[in-house]
Amino acid sequence: MENREKYLSFVVPCYNSESYMARCIESLLPGGEDVEIIIVDDGSVDDTGKIADEYARKYPSIVRAIHQENGGHGAGLNAGLNHATGLYFKVVDSDDWIDEESYHQILDTLHNLCSAGCMLDMMISNFVYEKEGARHKSATRYHNILPQGQLFGWEETRNFKIGKYILMHSVIYRTQLLRDCHLVLPKHTFYVDNLFVYVPLPYVKTMYYLDVDFYRYYIGRDDQSVNEKNMIKNIDQQIKVNKLMVDAYDLWKIPDRHLRHYMLNYLEIITVISTVMLLKSGTEENLEKKRELWTYIKNADIRLFHKLRNRIMGQTLNLPGKGGRKLSLTIYKISQKVIGFN
């Protein structure tokens, strides 16, 4: 019996995920033979590898387990991409999960587009913040920005508001497109999900938006890299990703102005995050790192530097002196509450 062509490859990077990875994998299994689930055990020292092997034995035509030395989130995604056979590629972190009803709509849409011979580069859907203890679950949705029920290009998108971007949780890429852009993520580095989304963007010509709450993004573990305390602790890795994004493209050579504008906004928000975390730490060492980051951008692309520096957030976060830094963080906190910026 020949293996069926897989529409969608899921990669699930795991490191010491024994206590929660089953929820993630179980949520992916309803895709059946249309999908493959690649579990990457990234040098775990608990029973993560054993659990992965058990799923691979139980579902041999759907699940594959890959074991490697610890290399971090990026190494896990690299391994998943190297082994993926599906037409499309989706990352689901091991503490997250997906909504089953939305899942079937995603697969039906991919099936219909493929059957019609459509070349889809990127599918976008919504994601929900599953915050521990929160009574109200917030979601990031794009129905006021992106067309629905059709293939579209960058020129048909509306302006993305501050705080609303296409993140790893909301995107499904065509697998070959990721290979065509030579996507290789750095090892032992947090926050590479930003590179995963950003680097392929100039290769994306066609998109499709499905207005469903597909991805469930769990927030609540103390060891999560997006925890503010951990972001300050790992600030060198945030800066590394920030610089790699600056170096990835000469934005002024990107011909599509809508795409160029979106990528500039995305790069701005990453730089804002780096700057805010450096200011929040308050140490002289990190204040020097803030100056060094902005100097790096200036030396890399003077036009980009002036664009970022002269925008509202750039001006706000570069006010001089101790009083200026205090005012910067106060304005930042107000902007979080007023416009939902996070």
- More reliable by pLDDT, 228 or 12: 12
| pLDDT score of 38 more than 60 | yes
> Quick one: which of 70, 96, 107, 131 has its CA closest to 11?
96
Q: Over 80: is that where the pLDDT of 338 sits?
A: no
Instruction: Give the architecture (CATH level 2) of 8-219.
Output: Alpha-Beta Complex (3.90)
- Higher-confidence residue: 245 or 334? 245
Is pLDDT of 2 > 80? no
- For the stretch 280-296, pLDDT in tens is 888 999 999 999 999 99
Amino acid type, 317: L
Q: What is the model's pLDDT at position 340?
A: 45
Q: Quick: pLDDT tens for 136-168.
A: 788 999 999 999 999 999 999 999 887 789 999
Which residue carries 């290789």 as its tokens?
Answer: 184
Domain boundaries, the chain: 8-219, 228-339
Report long-range pairs for 54-63 (Cβ below 8 Å, ≥24 apart): 55/25, 59/29, 61/3, 61/33, 62/29, 62/31, 62/32, 62/33, 62/35, 62/36, 62/37, 63/25, 63/36, 63/37, 63/38, 63/39
Angle subtended by helix axes 321-339 and 257-281, to nearest 10: 120
Mean pLDDT of 93-114: 97
List pLDDT tens digits, range 45-78.
999 999 999 999 999 999 999 999 999 999 999 9
Q: What is the pLDDT of residue 314?
A: 72
Q: What is the pLDDT of residue 224?
A: 64
Maximum distance among all alpha carbons in the chain?
71
Q: What is the per-residue pLDDT across 233-263, written as a single tens digit (0 to 9) for each? A: 999 999 999 999 999 999 999 999 999 999 9
As a whole number of angstroms, the distance between CA 267 and CA 284 comes to 25
**pLDDT score of 136:** 78
In Å, what is the CA distance from 319 to each residue of 231, 275, 281, 291, 298? 22, 12, 16, 12, 17
Q: What percent of the chain has pLDDT over 70?
A: 89
**Rounded-to-integer distance, Cα 103 and Cα 117, Å:** 21
CA separation, residue 9 to residues 5, 33, 137, 253 (Å): 11, 11, 28, 32
Strands 88-91, 97-98: pairing is unpaired
Confidence class for position 311, pLDDT limits 50, 70, 90: confident
Q: Indicate if the pLDDT at residue 1 is higher than 50.
A: no
Task: State the average pLDDT for the chain.
Answer: 91
Q: What is the pLDDT of residue 339?
A: 42
**C-beta of residue 130 within 8 angstroms of C-beta of residue 215:** no
Name, in order, each residue with C-beta under 8 angstroms of 183's C-beta and a sequence gap of 6 or more.
Answer: 81, 195, 196, 199, 200
pLDDT band of residue 341 (cuts 50, 70, 90) is very low
What local confidence, expressed as pLDDT, does residue 280 receive? Answer: 87
Instruction: Between 324 and 208, name the one with better pLDDT.
Output: 208
**pLDDT tens by residue, 198-239:** 999 999 999 999 999 999 999 876 666 666 788 889 999 999
Better-scored residue on pLDDT, 326 or 12:
12
